[in-house]
């Protein structure tokens, strides 16, 4: 079954798609086009496969706020560390471990004795908590809809089993409100969106209709294999050439127009929308997910009486501008010197889906290149 | 974490869990987020949960389209396309 | 079940019994005969190559081998890629109280069989036992001495644009095998460790004549780490071709699932060589004629990009091959 992966990496087809992109770029003539991808998996795949090299010179693909770890306020890490200091066992995705809070990261706190355990699935916490019923466990619930659905299922299962020693500290967010904020910002001038693969599997392709019909942006839902991304970009350029922005679903082998209703129902049962702060974008109304009133006792911020408040961002850190697509990672003065994955100043350099991490891992030049640009 | 690679459901357990398989590697996952999962379904797994099924026919159709595209371009250009991709950096900002 | 006890490490009768019955008889007929404290050896050459390695792999046994195989191959290979013909090994064992004797026997059998296959002798050693909980079953150290081969003159500073980069077989099988065993993945066809000797591959390359610039076995950190060290500070770099990287299907599948890049994963029986383009086909041919080299491939070239390792991707783009901060998969060897 690797053929379902390999089939979307065929080198000859990639070359053909790159050729098609070159033709479309030429057809656009003098026009410069700005596309944005808003999915961490896309960010990483584009970097890992070197796909930007295949874009025509008049087409720019910027990374948007598609990484939920990257848009998390440092105050969230501070709150989590506070809970650990009060004796909670933190359970988290690996990605959050090295994200700097106002002072320290979870990893540093762990080295100092805090209890921090990494899961690959939040469902593992059910076993851990059952094995230590006297210990309070706190799940760091960070993610977009793709992760909100499993977290919803977890919350409902915690309730069903009557586990009293697990709570969730939520920083879960939804993507469409961020797109709402991005489309109304004239400085960004996005002509089209490469829409996420698996967020779309949950929310459905139809969710992007307003961005095409009311805001006139080309929208293509694409998978995250190289051929999917190249094909999605071809589709965006074709829409822009025809001047007919619409929502096109090129990942229809997984994404349905209406999305995954079962997952949506789980999210609706477990969570309610709340205003939420996004690093770089400010507070976006109704863009966060907090636990629903019936599950409020599972909210760690309530249980421990420790609300999440704004943290302190390093003033030199430009993750916010990177997340909005205003600058590329290399545009940040800290990029590479001193901010690297070994010594991250902000979440974009830490997360496995962060733009800066992708640029550093796959795209930087080690020696000074003849272009004179430090990448 | 299974990074959203398509896997086949080989077993369903009554507690809402299941076992998926890829190239002989088996993993236990949750199926709570699927309507009516069946053995033999191909699913996308994220954070230990199957979040959607993959339509194998659609996948085959699209892979075939890509193969055809490659052949068309190679025919038009008189041979395998050999682009020299010049590095452009991040291309953003 | 018989288990190792603290008495076995005490130097008294229990120790002697263990050494005579488990260790000496497996390595008899050489300097270990009579169990002297040190081995007196006559070197057949004027130059020596000397290397040591310690092994802390978890779990001790995995598909394709155990810590005993690693302990012999690891040091034999370090000596070989430094241009030495491996001759003698020391064997230092630190055993955890409670270790099943059966496990120790399997490990020692692996040491004996690997040493025989590599044509090296275990000539001296030491055994200690530490209390339960203090060394995770077993830690092993081997130190190895080899005769320096005059024909092999390896210097990474001789890399030239146009040189070819060769690898003797699929990448990352060892690391993935240990990972699967550790994580308890249920597998029909698990990746198998590639643990094995590389000295015949090294000698086959040497026989191809002048033009082998450099060789190294990619262990911890994988091929990426080795190439990064090779080009460090040089006026040239390496460009790999993703389409040509040899990867075994089981290792690929597990790597995709875990989001691991096989360029970062340890091998324990592979050699990377950089050769002048004229002799590369001959080296490949010689490697493919050996069982341990049948998956050998030409995977890239030396290019005029100072101190960089890059890769032409499947999609036709280009990316940097990075080296991760820490060990992706700890306790691999």
Distance, first Cα to last Cα, chain B: 32
pLDDT given for residue A368 in this prediction: 28
Percent of chain B at pLDDT exceeding 70: 80
Tens of pLDDT, residues C235-280: 999 999 999 999 999 899 888 888 889 999 999 999 999 999 999 9
Which subunits have 3 or more CB–CB pairs within 8 Å of chain A?
A: B, C
Task: State residue C248's pLDDT score.
Answer: 94
Are the CB atoms for A89 and B15 separated by under 8 Å?
A: no
E strands present in chain A: 33-37, 59-63, 89-93, 116-119, 137-141, 166-170, 172-173, 192-195, 218-221, 247-249, 271-278, 282-291
Contact list in B for residue A266 (CB cut-off 8 A) is: 32-33
Q: CA–CA separation, A357 vs A334, rounded Å? A: 13
Of residues A9, A352, A361, nearest to C314 (C-beta): A9
Which pLDDT belongs to residue B92?
37
SS3 content of chain A, % helix, strand, coil (to 5): 45, 15, 40
For A:61-80, CB contacts with B below 8 A are 61-63
Does A175 touch chain B if contact means CB atoms closer than 8 Å?
no
Strand partners, C297: C167
* Side-chain-facing half-sphere of A80: CA atoms under 13 Å: 38
Distance separating alpha carbons of residues C92 and C54, to the nearest angstrom: 9
Give strand pairing partners of A92: A118
Give yes or no for a contact between A306 and A82, defined as CB atoms under 8 angstroms apart: yes
Q: For the segment A118-177, what is each residue's pLDDT rounded down to a tens digit?
A: 988 899 999 999 999 999 999 999 999 999 999 999 999 999 999 999 999 999 999 999
Over residues C147-168, the pLDDT tens digits come to 988 777 788 999 999 999 999 9
Three-class SS of chain B? CCCCCEEEEEEECCCCEEEEEECCEEEEEECCCCCCCCCCCEEEEECCEEEEECCHHHHHHHHHHHHHHHHHHHHHCCCCCCCCCCCCCCCCC
Q: What average pLDDT does this structure show over C213-225?
A: 93
The tens digit of pLDDT for each residue in B5-33 reads 899 999 999 988 999 998 888 888 999 99
Say if residue C202 is preceded by a cis peptide, omega within 30 of 0: no
In chain A, % of residues over pLDDT 90: 79
**Measured between CB atoms, does B84 come within 8 Å of chain C?**
no
For residue C177, what is the nearest residue in chain B, using CA coordinates? B25
| A338 upstream amide cis, omega within 30 of 0 | yes
- For A54, which DSSP code? G
What is the enclosing helix (H) or strand (E) of C254? helix C249-258
pLDDT for C291-309, tens place per residue?
Answer: 999 999 999 999 999 999 9
Distance CA C242, CA B75 (A): 25
Kindly state the average pLDDT of the residues C211-238: 94
C209: pLDDT strictly greater than 80: no
């Amino acid at each position: 079954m690797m053929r379902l992966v390999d089939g979307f990496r065929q080198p000859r087809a990639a070359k053909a798609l790159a050729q098609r992109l070159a033709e479309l770029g030429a057809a656009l003539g003098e026009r410069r086009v700005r596309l944005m991808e808003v999915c961490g998996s896309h960010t990483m795949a584009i970097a890992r496969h070197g796909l930007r090299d295949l874009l025509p010179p008049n087409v720019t693909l910027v990374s948007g706020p598609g990484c939920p770890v990257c848009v998390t306020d440092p105050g969230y890490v501070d709150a989590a560390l506070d809970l650990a200091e009060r004796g909670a066992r933190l359970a988290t995705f690996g990605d959050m471990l090295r994200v700097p809070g106002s002072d320290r990261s979870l990893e540093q706190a762990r080295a100092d004795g805090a209890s921090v355990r990494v899961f690959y699935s939040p469902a593992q916490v059910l076993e851990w908590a059952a094995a230590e019923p006297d210990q309070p466990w706190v799940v760091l619930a960070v993610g977009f809809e793709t992760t909100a659905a499993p977290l919803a299922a977890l919350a409902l299962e915690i309730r069903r089993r009557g586990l009293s020693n697990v709570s969730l500290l939520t920083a879960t967010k939804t993507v469409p409100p961020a797109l709402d904020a991005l489309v109304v910002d004239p400085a960004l001038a996005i002509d089209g969106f490469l829409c996420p693969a698996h967020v779309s599997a949950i929310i459905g392709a139809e969710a992007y209709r307003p961005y095409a019909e009311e805001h006139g942006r080309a929208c293509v839902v694409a998978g995250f294999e190289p051929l999917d991304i190249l094909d999605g970009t071809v589709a965006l350029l074709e829409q822009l050439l025809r001047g007919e922005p619409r929502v096109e679903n090129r990942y229809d082998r997984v994404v349905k127009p209406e999305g995954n209703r079962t997952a949506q129902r789980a999210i609706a049962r477990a969570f309610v929308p709340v205003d939420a702060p996004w690093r770089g974008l400010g507070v976006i109304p109704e863009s966060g997910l907090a636990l629903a009133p019936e599950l409020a006792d599972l909210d760690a911020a309530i249980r421990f009486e420790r609300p999440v408040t704004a943290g302190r961002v390093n003033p030199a850190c430009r993750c916010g501008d990177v997340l909005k697509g205003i600058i590329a990672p290399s545009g940040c003065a800290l990029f590479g010197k001193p901010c690297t994955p070994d010594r991250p100043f902000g979440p974009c350099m830490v997360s496995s889906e962060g733009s800066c991490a992708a640029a550093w891992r796959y795209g930087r030049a080690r020696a000074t290149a003849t272009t004179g640009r430090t990448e | 974490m299974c990074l959203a690679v398509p896997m086949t459901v080989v077993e369903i357990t009554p507690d809402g869990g299941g076992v998926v398989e890829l190239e002989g590697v088996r993993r236990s996952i949750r199926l709570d987020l699927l309507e009516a999962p069946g053995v033999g379904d191909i699913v996308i797994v994220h954070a230990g949960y199957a979040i959607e099924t993959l339509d194998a026919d659609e996948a085959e159709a699209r892979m075939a389209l890509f193969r055809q595209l490659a052949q068309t371009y190679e025919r038009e250009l008189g041979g395998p396309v050999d682009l020299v991709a010049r590095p452009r950096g991040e291309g953003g900002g | 079940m018989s288990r190792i006890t603290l008495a076995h490490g005490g130097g008294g009768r229990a120790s002697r019994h263990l050494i005579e019955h488990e260790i000496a008889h497996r390595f008899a007929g050489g300097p270990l005969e009579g169990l002297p404290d040190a081995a007196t050896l006559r070197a057949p050459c004027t130059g020596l190559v000397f290397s040591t390695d310690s092994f802390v792999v978890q779990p001790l046994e995995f598909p394709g081998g155990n810590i005993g195989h690693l302990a012999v191959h690891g040091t034999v290979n370090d000596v070989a890629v430094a241009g030495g013909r491996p001759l003698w090994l020391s064997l230092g064992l630190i055993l955890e109280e409670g270790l099943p004797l059966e496990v120790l026997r399997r490990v020692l059998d692996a040491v004996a069989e690997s040493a025989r296959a590599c044509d090296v002798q275990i000539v001296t050693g030491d055994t200690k036992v530490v209390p339960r909980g203090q060394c995770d079953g077993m830690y092993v150290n081997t130190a190895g001495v080899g005769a320096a081969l005059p024909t092999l003159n390896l210097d990474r500073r001789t890399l030239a644009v146009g040189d070819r980069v060769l690898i003797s077989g699929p990448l990352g099988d060892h690391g993935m095998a240990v990972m699967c065993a550790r994580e308890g993945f249920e597998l029909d066809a698990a990746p198998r460790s590639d643990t094995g000797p590389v000295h015949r591959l090294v000698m086959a390359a040497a026989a191809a004549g002048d033009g082998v610039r450099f060789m190294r076995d990619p262990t911890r950190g994988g091929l990426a780490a080795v190439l990064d060290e090779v080009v460090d500070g040089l006026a040239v770099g390496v460009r790999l071709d993703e389409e040509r990287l040899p990867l075994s299907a089981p290792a690929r599948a597990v790597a995709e699932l875990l989001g691991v890049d096989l360029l970062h994963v340890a091998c324990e029986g592979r050699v990377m060589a950089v050769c002048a383009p004229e002799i590369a086909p001959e080296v490949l041919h010689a490697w493919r004629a050996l069982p341990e080299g049948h998956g050998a491939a030409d995977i890239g070239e030396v290019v005029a990009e100072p101190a960089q390792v890059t890769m032409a991707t499947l999609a036709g783009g280009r990316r940097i091959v990075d080296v991760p901060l820490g060990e992706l998969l700890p306790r691999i060897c």
